[in-house]
Structure 1
Amino acid sequence: MTRLYRTRPAETWAKARDDYLAGSSAETVCRRYDLGLASFRLRARRYGWRRCDQVPPPPGEADLTLYSDIDLEAQIKTAGLRFIEALEGGKAVEARRWRRLWIELSETHVQIRELWTKEMTPMERVAYLVTPPEEEPETEEEARLLPMPPQDGPSPASE
């Protein structure tokens, strides 16, 4: 039987190392970068990726700009996905924690929406709640898959 190896570029290993040393678990890092857990642990041991050797940042100076682009809806979606992942993995306690967070974030989202729409007229409120938010495509591939807006005038094919 031929054994297949997953070769990852050095940039992937560097990102995995940085995430691990920043506090993510080895399992989380391996899932995020599609790495084998045994390979990750071997490399961490070989190259000395130890959290205890890291200099902790001074209190109150944690760099939270990493999370500036994560909105509440993304947090809710992530918590829901983590709940399902833990549930399917047989991790009942972890699943329960993710479920609790998922519910709390969903309730917070509802409260924020109610505060936001409090001053609106009933018609404005319905329009706000029914209209989906405009989503920008993240990649060129996604942009090509979006339907083209209707063109004004005759189409080039009819000329």
Structure 2
Amino acid sequence: MAETYRIRSIQTWAQARDDYLSGLSAETVCRRHDLGLSAFRRRARKYGWRRSDQIEPPPGETDLSIYEDVGLDDQVETAALRFVQALEHGKATEARRWRRLWLELRDASDAMDAEMFPGMSRHEIAAMIAADDALYDDPEEADALRIEPPLSLKVHHCALEKIPDPLSPPEGA
């Protein structure tokens, strides 16, 4: 079945142009803004959105202070999410690269944890951090923010509890 014809606003095209010229790939821009790749390439050719035509900033030191609050745990999580995203889109090579980065970052994180908490496993460290975080949680705030599961899910769980486990011995035995 053919895709339907989509008309996008001027603002969407302007944002897509800016994203493309800032360095994102055409495929990524099209996914982000729900644009057709051929329509994007046609418009880019028509209006001269070539990166080679753009004025390059003067050479100098790049301001990396915007990344100061990004910790190693955030980097590990981002790499893991990008790995899964690449898998879902069927991009095996990209998925492989993200997986390699994710595992390297996770190993670096584990090495840091091993230095800070000698003799403890990853799971013990995570449990200790979770317990520490629980000390600072406000139970009233947690109750106010908790979302009740829908009734259908509650009924489903009740029904599952009544199904006997096929691996357990019968009650009369």
Give the TM-score band, short-chain normalised. Answer: 0.5 to 0.7
User: In structure 2, what is the Cα distance between the partners aligned to 1:117 and 1:34?
Assistant: 46
Q: 1:39 Cα shift?
A: 1.8
What is aligned with 2:5? 5
Instruction: Name the counterpart of 1:82.
Output: 82
Q: Deviations over 1:16-72 (max 9, x none)?
A: 212211211111111222222122112211211000001222333435466555443
Q: Could you state the TM-score of these two structures normalised by the residue count of structure 1? A: 0.62
Deviation at 1:96, TM superposition (A): 1.6
Aligned with 1:148: secondary structure? Answer: helix
CA distance in 1, matches of 2:90, 2:16: 25
Q: How many residues align?
A: 133
> Which stretch of the first structure deviates more once superposed, 95-104 or 65-74?
65-74
Name 2:59's counterpart in structure 1. Answer: 59
> Larger C-alpha radius of gyration, 1 or 2?
2
Stretches of structure 1 lacking an aligned partner (at least 5 in a row): 119-124, 135-145, 150-159
Are 1:148 and 2:144 an aligned pair? yes
1:79-115 alpha-carbon deviations (Å, 9 max, x no partner): 2233233334443332221111111121222233444
Identity of aligned residues (%): 54
Relative to the length of structure 2, the TM-score reads: 0.58
The equivalent residue for 1:153 is none
Matched residue type, 1:76: V
The code of the aligned residue for 2:129 comes to Y
Distance 1:21 1:2, change over 3 A: closer
Q: How does 1:1-159 map to 2 (within 5 A)?
A: 4-64=4-64, 67=67, 70-117=70-117, 127-131=128-132, 147-148=143-144
Query: Is there any run of 5+ residues in structure 2 with no aligned partner, and where?
Result: 119-124, 137-141, 146-173
How far apart, in 2, do the equivalents of 1:6 and 1:69 lie? Answer: 39
Q: What RMSD over aligned residues (CA atoms) do the two structures have, in Å?
A: 3.4
Q: Which has the higher contact order (CA 8 A, sep 6+)?
A: 1
